[in-house]
A and B are shown apart, each in its own frame.
Chain A
C-alpha cells in the first residue's frame, strides 16, 4: 500500500469506477443532511405517481412524496444501517476470532462449533430469527444483522491469526516478553489490513443487500423512515403505472453495492 498517487489510482479501472460511484452516492447523502428538494415525508395528493420531470427528478410516489428526496433520505438510512452492522459484526467477530485463534484449546473448539452451527443459517435467516426475538425496528435490525455477520468475520480473523501466530517475528516478540493482548492488537491484527479491508467492503455490501431484503419483508426500518429496501417494497405494485418510482431506489441500491464492490476489487488487486 505504498506510494498512493492519483495517477496510479486512475490507472486501475476498478478503483476509478468505485471511487466515482461511491463518491456520487456519498455526496448525495451528505447534501441530504443540509438540503433536500422536498420534505421526504410531505404528502401531496395532487402530485401522486408522477414520472420523471424537472420538478421531481425521480418522480413522486403513491402519496405524492418526492422520490428523489426520499431516495436521498433512504440512502442515508441504508448506509447507516450497513455501517452499524459492519461495526458490530466486524468488531465482535474480530475480537472473538483473535482471542480464540490466539489461545486455541477448549475455548476455541467450543466457539468454533457454535460458529459452525451459526454458519448453517444463511445470514438473512439468522437476522430473521434475531429480529423475531428483539422485535421490529431499525436498532433491532442493526443488532440482528450485526450478530448475523459475526461468524464470518470471526472465521476470517481466526484463520489469519492462526497463520500469523507461527511467523518468526511473532516468535521474536514472544521471546521479548510482549504481553498477549499487546501481541494480538499491536503485532498480529495490524498485519491483516488488506484482508480486513476487503472483507469489510464485502461485509458492507452484504449488509446493504440483507437490509434491503429484510426491509422488503417488512421487518426492517419502519415508516416514515423508509430505507431503500422498504421503498422498493412499497413501490412494487406501481411498477406498471410509474416505473420510475420502482427503478430509482432500486438503481441506487445497485450503484451503492457496485461502488463498494469495485473499490474492494481494486484494493484486492492493488500492488
Chain B
C-alpha cells in the first residue's frame, strides 16, 4: 500500500511538472495571440483591453495558477479562433480517440501474448522464424502506411468497410466500433510485433533460470513450467512495455485518425496548431499527458501485483 501511495504522489508531482512545462512552452512563444485575434490594424487600446480581459497582463505565476486550477476544474479556457469554451470543443472528440486507442491496445494484448508464447515454445522452429522476420518488417512500417494499405486492401478491394464512412458513437455504437477496428489494427500492428519479440525473449530468458529447473524437478510438464512458473516472471518487462505502448497508441491515433478520416481529437489539434490557438492545444496536450500519467500509475499497480519484490526495493 505504501508503494501505491508513494507512486500516487509521484504521479501528482509529474502532472505538475508537465503542466509547468506545457504552460511555459506556450508562454515563451513569440507573437501575440491577441494581435492575431484582432488583426494587425487593431488599436493599441483595444489590444490592451483584450489582454486585460483575457488576463494576459498578470504576472506569469498568477496566470499559471489560474490556468492550472481551472484546468483541474475542467475549465480549459476559451478558444482564440472560435471564441467558444475549449471543453465543449473537445468533449465529444475525446471518447473517439480514447476508444480507438483502447481497441488498439486490446488487439495488441490479445494477439501478442499467444504469439509470444507460441514462438518461445517452438524456439527456432519454422513458425518462429516466419513470425520473427514478419515482426521486423511490421516494426519498420510507419502505422499510417499500414493504415493506407489496410484502407486499400480491406476498404477498396475487399470492401469489408467503407473508407470515410465513420459512424458517430451517439448514433450507432456497434457501427462506431466496427469502423474503428481497422484503424485500430493499423495502430496496434507495430506494438504487437514489439510485444511478441519482447515476450518471446523474456520467456526464453526465464525458462533458462534455476527456478524453472526446480519446477521440472517437481514433476511439472512443459506447460506446467510455462504457465505456472515462467509466464508470470516473463510478463514483468512486458507489462512495463505495454503501459508505454498504451500511451503511445493514444498518441499514435492522432496520425491514424487522419488516414481513416475519423473526426477525433487529431483534426482539432492540427488546426489549432496551425492557427496558434493555444488554449485548445494546451488543453489537448494536457489531456493526453494526464491520460498517459494515469496509465503509468495503473501500470505501477499491476506491476506491484505481479512482482512482490518491488516493495522490498523501496
Cβ contact within 8 Å between A125 and B140: no
1/0 per residue, CB under 8 A from B, across A223-258: the answer is 000000100110010011001001000100111011
Give the total of A residues in contact with B, Cβ under 8 Å: 42
Docked complex Cα distance between A116 and B297 (Å): 13
Chain B residue numbers with a CB within 8 Å of A157 are none
User: Is A136 interfacial (CB-CB < 8 Å)?
Assistant: yes
Could you tell me which residues of chain B, from 212 to 258, have a CB within 8 Å of some CB in chain A? Answer: 247-248, 250-252, 254-255, 258
B237 to chain A, nearest CB (A): 15
Chain B residue numbers with a CB within 8 Å of A128 are 254, 269, 273, 285
Given contacts A128-B269, A129-B285, A261-B136, contact A120 B144 (CB under 8 A): no
Total A-B pairs in contact (CB under 8 Å)?
Answer: 123
B13 to chain A, nearest CB (A): 7
Docked complex Cα distance between A118 and B274 (Å): 23
Given contacts A120-B293, A125-B288, A213-B255, contact A133 B144 (CB under 8 A): no
Chain B residue numbers with a CB within 8 Å of A250 are 142, 145, 148-149
Docked complex Cα distance between A254 and B138 (Å): 9
Could you tell me which residues of chain A, from 102 to 136, have a CB within 8 Å of some CB in chain B? Answer: 113-114, 116-118, 120-122, 124-125, 128-133, 136
B135 to chain A, nearest CB (A): 10
Cβ contact within 8 Å between A239 and B148: yes
Given contacts A239-B156, A254-B137, A254-B141, contact A125 B17 (CB under 8 A): no
B298 to chain A, nearest CB (A): 13
User: Is B154 interfacial (CB-CB < 8 Å)?
Assistant: no
Give the total of B residues in contact with A, Cβ under 8 Å: 46
By secondary structure, the B interface counts as helix
Docked complex Cα distance between A255 and B17 (Å): 39
Chain B residue numbers with a CB within 8 Å of A243 are 152
Chain A residue numbers with a CB within 8 Å of B177 are none
B25 partner, pick from A129, A205, A236, A261, beta carbons under 8 A: A129
Cβ contact within 8 Å between A125 and B254: yes
Docked complex Cα distance between A232 and B151 (Å): 14
Cβ contact within 8 Å between A114 and B21: yes
Counting chain A CB atoms within 10 Å of each CB, the highest count among B137, B140, B273 belongs to B140
Give the nearest-CB partner of A247 in chain B: B149
Chain A residue numbers with a CB within 8 Å of B156 are 239-240
B289 partner, pick from A121, A233, A236, beta carbons under 8 A: A121
Chain A residue numbers with a CB within 8 Å of B269 are 128
Cβ contact within 8 Å between B247 and A120: yes
B145 partner, pick from A130, A132, A253, A261, beta carbons under 8 A: A253
Chain B residue numbers with a CB within 8 Å of A96 are none
Given contacts A136-B274, A218-B274, A239-B156, 13 further A-B contacts (CB under 8 A): A113-B13, A120-B18, A128-B285, A129-B285, A132-B273, A133-B28, A216-B144, A216-B255, A217-B255, A232-B148, A236-B148, A257-B141, A261-B136
The 9 closest A-B pairs by CB, nearest first: A122-B251, A257-B140, A117-B17, A258-B140, A132-B273, A250-B145, A125-B251, A122-B248, A212-B142
